[in-house]
Chain A
Amino acid sequence: DGGITQSPKYLFRKEGQNVTLSCEQNLNHDAMYWYRQDPGQGLRLIYYSQIVNDFQKGDIAEGYSVSREKKESFPLTVTSAQKNPTAFYLCASSMGGGGQPQHFGDGTRLSIL
């Protein structure tokens, strides 16, 4: 079945540590997105990418980094510079342009140890 796979489902980070969240899609979508969700905050855009080897900052990119070396993959690294990383992270993909619906993964819940 086609879809978006996020892993791991739960992740714990120690102080000063970088962690990487995985996002893979087999929908042949061009565009991919990373969102952060905090209680009562809705979804806030971290980074998005329309094509391989290109990506744009969203509204809250500080303390995060991404890469887009393959069309299917868009990993998100939460760096030690992100002082409040505890949140629910959602990855999405879409055909790109024209308001195509975004399809979402099941999310990764990141917590601080």
Chain B
Amino acid sequence: AQKVTQAQTEISVVEKEDVTLDCVYETRDTTYYLFWYKQPPSGELVFLIRRNSFDEQNEISGRYSWNFQKSTSSFNFTITASQVVDSAVYFCALFPDRGSTLGRLYFGRGTQLTVWP
């Protein structure tokens, strides 16, 4: 079975605080991809990052960083020095890759992040 769990439904922080969004996944596939998407109040989902199952290097992009640990099946997302514009719903998603073009994403339920000024 494929499953993504985002245990934090809502998080509130004050501007400039660091915040970590947790993501735990379940899959029996050996090859898979993990994603993070941001959904601002306007509604569209914005792609943030993709990681494949063979690349456990952490990644940093500006104030964003991602920590992928296969040992704990986690792909956590940290925002450093949060800003009001970071307020959004964040989704973690899993794509099991079975070597064909037929594939789909499995989404977590999302974490609503609110950053207060």
Whether A33 pairs with B104 at a CB distance below 8 angstroms is yes
Whether B91 pairs with A102 at a CB distance below 8 angstroms is no
Q: A97-B100, A107-B44 are in contact. Are A102 and B105 (CB under 8 A)?
A: yes
Whether B104 pairs with A45 at a CB distance below 8 angstroms is yes
B13 at the interface (CB under 8 A from A): no
Max count, chain A CB within 10 A of own CB: residue among B32, B46, B101:
B101
Q: A88-B43, A106-B43 are in contact. Are A42 and B104 (CB under 8 A)?
A: no
Whether A105 pairs with B44 at a CB distance below 8 angstroms is yes
* Of B59-67, B75-83, B106-114, the one touching chain A: B106-114
| Residues of B with C-beta under 8 A to A42 | 91, 107-110
| Residues of B with C-beta under 8 A to A45 | 104-105
A85 at the interface (CB under 8 A from B): no
Number of A residues whose C-beta is below 8 Å from B?
29
Interface residues on B, range: 20 to 34
A25 at the interface (CB under 8 A from B): no
Max count, chain B CB within 10 A of own CB: residue among A42, A97, A99:
A99
| Residues of A with C-beta under 8 A to B37 | 104
Whether B50 pairs with A43 at a CB distance below 8 angstroms is no
Q: How far apart sit A96 and B47, CA to CA, in the bound complex (Å)?
A: 15
Residue in A closest to B34 when the chains form the complex, CB atoms? A99
A30 at the interface (CB under 8 A from B): yes
A58 at the interface (CB under 8 A from B): yes
**Cβ contacts A to B, 23 pairs, < 8 Å:** A30-B101, A35-B107, A40-B109, A42-B91, A42-B107, A43-B45, A43-B107, A44-B107, A45-B105, A56-B102, A58-B104, A88-B43, A97-B101, A99-B50, A99-B95, A101-B35, A101-B50, A103-B47, A104-B44, A105-B44, A106-B42, A106-B44, A107-B43
Q: Which residues of A contact B (CB under 8 A)?
A: 30-31, 33, 35, 40-45, 48, 50-51, 56, 58, 88, 90, 92, 96-99, 101-107
